[in-house]
Amino acid sequence: MEDKHLKPLDHQLEDEAEVRSMDPREIEVRLAIADYVIRRVGGTPAGSEIFDALIKRFENRYPQHKLLAHFLTSPEHLEMDADDLED
């Protein structure tokens, strides 16, 4: 039985973003934290653990799924081609 009130995750995130508008300073800090963590855990057991925790969010979503894998499990792929970032 399917719940009609459940939305795909991307729509849930869009709705949440509308409700909670992040201040540009908060976005800047969050991105700095993410960059710091990615550079230190990419390709390590900690990176794999973070990947495993986040993978369900990005199932069946390209290129997000691919980026998540590259950033957290393959540090040699941090420098990606622009083609990999296109929808």
Q: Residue for token digits 């992040």?
A: 22
The pLDDT tens digits for 20-74 are: 788 899 999 999 999 999 999 999 999 999 999 999 999 999 999 999 999 999 8
Query: Greater confidence, 4 or 22?
Result: 22
